[in-house]
Amino acid sequence: MNDFDELISRVAATSAGGELLQPPVSATELAEAERELGFPLHPLLAALYQKVGNGGFGPAASVLPLSGAPNASWETSVVQGYLDKIPPKGSNTWWSWPEGVVPVLDWGCAMFACVDCRSDDGTVLLFEPNAISGQDVSSGWFVDSGSLAEWLEAWLDGRGWYEADSADGDFDMVPWPDAASRL
């Protein structure tokens, strides 16, 4: 098991006093959210919600709340965003969403940063629907960071692709190799 205490402390310190930062969730609220999702969150993501806040931290202070009703700051939550993206069982649709991949940040224009709760490292993915070719949903998935910890470190250090100062605007992302098998 990884020890994320130092990273969580840095995220909390950087986020403290932010206008969007919400109070942390309780163990009961986390358990209820995981029950609704049908799987556990990645351990680091769960710890962030319990120790930093229920949204309002991370890049652009915009990590979505874990659960709860939408408000002026967010149109959805992690739980509702995930449930809304999963097609109903038995539906006849070309659309699909990978099980265990939760949206954690809405970049706008239907783009989401997502955490793969099934991966050991909590791979952070970018869902970019404008890249979907025909009905191949897998073409809209990219690896943003190999782990949630690395993604947070990039944000804390001002190295994220979304930073205005990012090196020459070059942020070509690698397609997610597991997309086709997970959709």
Q: Please state the domain extents for the chain.
A: 5-182
5-182 folds as: SMI1/KNR4-like (3.40.1580)
The pLDDT assigned to 1 comes to 43
The pLDDT assigned to 95 comes to 82
Question: pLDDT digits over 123-147, tens only?
Answer: 999 999 999 988 899 999 999 999 9
The pLDDT assigned to 181 comes to 94
Cα–Cα distance, 7 to 30 (Å, whole number): 20
Q: What band does 120 get if pLDDT is binned at 50, 70 and 90? A: very high
Question: pLDDT digits over 46-103, tens only?
Answer: 999 999 999 999 999 999 999 986 676 778 999 999 999 998 887 878 888 999 999 9
Over residues 134-162, mean pLDDT: 95
Within a 10 A sphere around the Cβ of 1, how many other Cβ atoms? 4
